[in-house]
Chains A and B, each alone.
Chain A
Amino acid sequence: MPTIELQNVTKTFGKHVAVEGLSLTVPQGSVYGFIGPNGSGKTTTLRMIMNILYPDSGEITIFGEPLRPASCDRIGYMPEERGLYKRMKVREVLEFFGGLKNGDGIGAKVDRWLERLDLADWANKKVETLSKGMSQKVQFIATVVSQPELVLLDEPFTGLDPVNTDVIKDAILELQAQGTTVIFSTHDMSMAEKMCDYIFMIFKGVKVLDGTLAEIQDKYGTDTVRVKTGDGMSALQNLEGIERVNDFGQVQELRLAPEGNSQKILQEILKRTYVRSFEIVKPSLHDIFVRIAGPQAKEVERA
């Protein structure tokens, strides 16, 4: 039984269509990544799943039942904009938010999570004394402390340093190992590639990608060459058979034109400079994202 099923869901604000005809199935126990440019409809979708916003049309099914207020007690939700009572102590605020969902043994659960995320020493400090990273970890605990079966995280890694990013990432994977379904939205494509069982992309309110990373990449074929040369970007000017060059400084990604031939391109580069590596790869999620939502994007195509 899927944890979430959205069927043809539409939400408008005045004349603006925020989400249009969205259908989505999230399997139980999976990590599902929501990607898309700012204002594309990710947060609106998450808010509809949380019953904070009501769809204009379509159906949302959670845990096999039509969405109703009581369903939210089984869902943990971390909004994009963090919100904690600044004048409350860390332990108090966690017990309060956890208690609103499921108050059973909340004190012990709070202690365990504070220990797990290395915040035990801050339990009796006021929230206003915490750093941004610590506040974000407290917000994460507030989301998961009631042991929800489904966790929705709106950009959980924004503003975190690499150490805390790893801490939250490990905690998410631990939740998944325990059977929790996790949905998170992110702008970090590499994080989505590495962590998510499924990736969903929404653009201008319309679903444009949905599936595993391999399925999504297969759709775009092996039209990308990742190359490292002695002269970097300057050696790749005016190459024939190339649609776009994405320069990362130390490495460049070349997107082949439909008529492009990778072997001919390699020969041309070798004439200009020496080649340290030349790899034919599937397009990265970042590249796919830019192809869909970048300035040179074509018409939106439904997935």
Chain B
Amino acid sequence: MRKILRFALREYKAAVKTKGFIIGLLLAPLVMGGGLIAFLLLKDRVDTTDKRVAVVDRSGLVTRALVSAAEFRNANEILDKESGKKIRPAHFFEEVKPSTNDPKGQRLGLSDRVRSGELHGFIEIGPQVVHPGKDPEAFQISYYAKNAAMDDLRGWAAWAINNRLRQVRLADAGVKESDVKDLFFWVSVDGLGLVSLDESTGAIAEGKRASPLEAILIPIVIMMLMLLMIMMSVPGMLHSVMEEKTQRIAEVLLGSIKPFEFMAAKLVGGIAVSLTSSAVYFVGGIIALQVMGYEDYVPLHVLPWFFAYMLLAIIMFGAWSAALGSTCNEAKDAQSLSFPTILPALFPMFIYFPVVKEPLGSFATWMSLVPPFTPLLMVLRLCTPGGVPAWQPFAGLLGVLLFTLFFVWAAGRIFRVAILMQGTPPKLANIVRWAIRG
């Protein structure tokens, strides 16, 4: 044990005392959460260039209302009321008389005007848009633009056009809009957690208001954090074992320690590195959430599970990584094995969305009980507001523990043979043979 700890301490110092670790500690969350951070930072940034749109109104009932709505918007909504700064683009609508004999040619002409930059886009409104009949083309509203799918103007125009259509339909039905104002009042459905009884006071506690932050964002962030911890130590083990083998340090070490102690020291060092990183992230994250007033969203009850699963995940994937590293004879081998090494750890990322959406569903339950996926998926489910049945984290932990013992046993056998093997390529058949025969 003394040797394992001494070697693990060297591994820990070698990893932590580098600029790469410090930079990685700062950059990794930025890279992994970069998309989210960029979205939050840039979500209010909009292009304020004015937009001109042509309208081909085959119903003859909408264009005037659309122009009026745009004029109202341009006058009241595009400037910041306090600073007077322009915060949204102005919309201008240009009426174009519909062509009856060559509608395709008209569309091409308008498209060319969009391509030249004269127009932002154009809208074509079907003749039966007020009272749709059986022919879908007759009541269709089409928006043509360079990037129509993601264009905010499309959404605004749809709102303005449908307002006008509603007015026309009410008028046609002989109903005054002012008489049925409540008809269009939209009542949303609030999501709440379950009501619970406080056993110490006997008081009934109201259900907590469900929030997307708590239901989706926090579980995903916690899961990503565990993945980050795994990624900060596991792939490194493959490369460091490969280096020790190719630089012939391994044989010097094997003169002092047994192969299993060698691998165990690597794992202990990797765990220590991950615990250091996770401590930094957790303390930093909790302080940041407190400053922002979101401290209630920190799932402190999940932390013991987080660390238990993280520990086993690093041992499980780390042993696998060290074993594969011992089969490599050159950096090229290690590069080609990097992806298979981290694939079992990455797989939950491909299926996390259905799991977080229905954390108590059978798909989520069974996938989170598959040992290589359990650490990430069980923690993801545990962080969701409803939690999981009490037996599941224990069952998952037992499965991971057994699987980890198997991985370490097999990896130890591969490691013992492969670490001194020179010139034998890391083929699957060889790896399986070494694991079986030792």
Contacts and interface: CB of A to CB of B under 8 A. Distances in A.
A53 B416 CA distance: 10
Interface stretch (B203-211, B244-252, B297-305): B244-252
A100 B244 contact: no
Nearest to B247: A83
A52 B248 contact: no
Given A100-B3, A100-B6, A87 B14 contact: yes
Contact of B248 (A47, A82, A88): A82
B251 to A, nearest CB: 4
Interface string B251-262: 111111110000
B420 interface: yes
Contact of A79 (B3, B10, B244, B248): B248
A103 interface: yes
B397 to A, nearest CB: 32
A83 B248 contact: yes
A69 interface: yes
Main secondary structure of the interface of B (DSSP, over half): helix
Nearest to A76: B255
Contact of A83 (B7, B250, B256): B250
Contacts of A77: 252, 255
A85 B249 contact: yes
A84 interface: yes
A86 interface: yes
A83 B248 CA distance: 5
A82 B252 CA distance: 8
A142 interface: yes
A15 to B, nearest CB: 15
Given A83-B244, A100-B3, A52 B254 contact: yes
Q: Which residue of A79, A83, A97, A101 has the most chain B CB atoms within 10 A of its CB atom?
A: A83
A72 interface: yes
Q: Which residue of B252, B253, B258 has the most chain A CB atoms within 10 A of its CB atom?
A: B252
Interface string B369-404: 000000000000000000000000000000000000
A126 to B, nearest CB: 12
A150 to B, nearest CB: 11
Nearest to A101: B256
B6 A96 contact: yes
A142 B255 CA distance: 11
B255 A75 contact: yes
Q: Which residue of A52, A82, A97, A103 has the most chain B CB atoms within 10 A of its CB atom?
A: A52
B364 to A, nearest CB: 45
A37 interface: no
A142 B14 CA distance: 19
Interface residues of B, number: 20
A29 interface: no
A299 interface: no
Contacts of A88: 14
Given A84-B249, A99-B6, A100-B7, A79 B255 contact: yes
Contacts of A52: 251, 254-255, 420
Interface in A53-87: 53, 69, 72-73, 75-79, 81-87
B251 A142 contact: no
A86 B247 contact: yes
Q: Which residue of B6, B253, B256 has the most chain A CB atoms within 10 A of its CB atom?
A: B256
B248 A81 contact: yes
Interface string A97-123: 101110100000000000000000000
A100 B256 contact: yes
Contacts of A78: 252
Nearest to B244: A83
A196 interface: no
A263 B7 CA distance: 67
Contacts of B14: 85, 87-88
A139 B6 CA distance: 19
A142 B258 contact: no
Contacts of B252: 77-79, 82-84, 97, 139, 142
A68 to B, nearest CB: 11
A21 B50 CA distance: 92
A225 interface: no
A142 B251 CA distance: 13
A84 B244 CA distance: 9
Nearest to A139: B252
A52 to B, nearest CB: 5
Interface string B133-164: 00000000000000000000000000000000
Given A85-B249, A100-B3, A50 B244 contact: no
B249 A53 contact: no
A83 B252 CA distance: 6
A53 B249 CA distance: 16
A69 B3 contact: no
Nearest to B7: A100
A81 B249 CA distance: 9
Nearest to A43: B251
A182 to B, nearest CB: 15
Nearest to B420: A52
B257 A100 contact: yes
Interface string A143-167: 0000000000000000000000000
B255 A50 contact: yes
Q: Which residue of B244, B253, B254 has the most chain A CB atoms within 10 A of its CB atom?
A: B254
B236 to A, nearest CB: 14
B251 A79 contact: yes
Contacts of B10: 96
A102 B235 CA distance: 32
Given A72-B255, A100-B6, 4 more contacts: A50-B255, A69-B258, A81-B248, A96-B6
Interface of B: 2-3, 6-7, 10, 14, 244, 247-258, 420
13 contacts: A52-B254, A73-B256, A77-B252, A77-B255, A79-B252, A81-B248, A81-B251, A82-B252, A83-B244, A85-B249, A97-B252, A100-B256, A103-B2
A-B pairs with lowest CB-CB distance, top 3: A77-B255, A83-B248, A83-B249
